[in-house]
Amino acid sequence: MIEETHPNDDSYIVRVKAVVMTRDDSSGGWLAQDGGALTRVGVCRLLPPELAPVPTSSSSQFLIRGERLRDKQVILDCPLRKDLVYTIATPTFHHWKVEDRKCGLSFQSPADARAFDRGVRKAIEDLAEGSTTSSTALQNEAELGDDDVFTHVSSLCLYFGSFTTGGSESY
């Protein structure tokens, strides 16, 4: 097995369950990918090129990866880069854009969405700092209660590791 395409459980910063969405620009809406199948989605750290069993051309150290729960088939494999534009559209729907690719996740709970958001932010921070050291694990989504405070703002964008408020731009 190649580490870049089959990360082990230890390489994930966060893993949650969600439905993977793709942007349909012709209709201006989001469509559930693969019939709306529930997927285990995570942010995983890739091996540094010098440690990888097979050299990789990707400059990204992190990957957003989704495996369909019913058969473990990978349906989302998106390199995470510093130029990622990440939007919290609602407490349970987040989407992002990297280069020309637009992806989204419909989470089962706000707690899962918050855990995933923290994982993405940690990966972006590590990319911005050029970190290749192992990150400390984020709080497991199971440890998050429904009483956790979540304040909805029209949208928050993560761009180069900083937060800006937005809302007029559509993806």
Alpha helices for 9-141 (secondary structure H): 110-129
CA distance 33 to 88: 19
Measured in residues, the chain has a length of 171
| Residue 70 or 167, more confident | 70
- H-helix or E-strand spanning residue 15: strand 12-24
| Residue 63 or 11, more confident | 63
- pLDDT score for 164: 31
Of 14-23, 58-67, 108-117, 150-159, where does mean pLDDT reach its minimum? 150-159
Q: What φ, ψ does residue 160 adopt, rounded to 5°?
A: 55, 35
The 10s digit of each residue's pLDDT in 17-71 is 999 999 998 888 999 998 899 999 999 998 665 555 554 444 558 999 999 999 9
CATH class for the region spanning 9-143+150-165: mainly beta
Reduce the DSSP state of residue 127 to 3 states and report it: helix
Please give the model's pTM, rounded to 2 decimal places: 0.68
Instruction: Count other C-beta atoms under 10 Å from residue 142's C-beta.
Output: 9
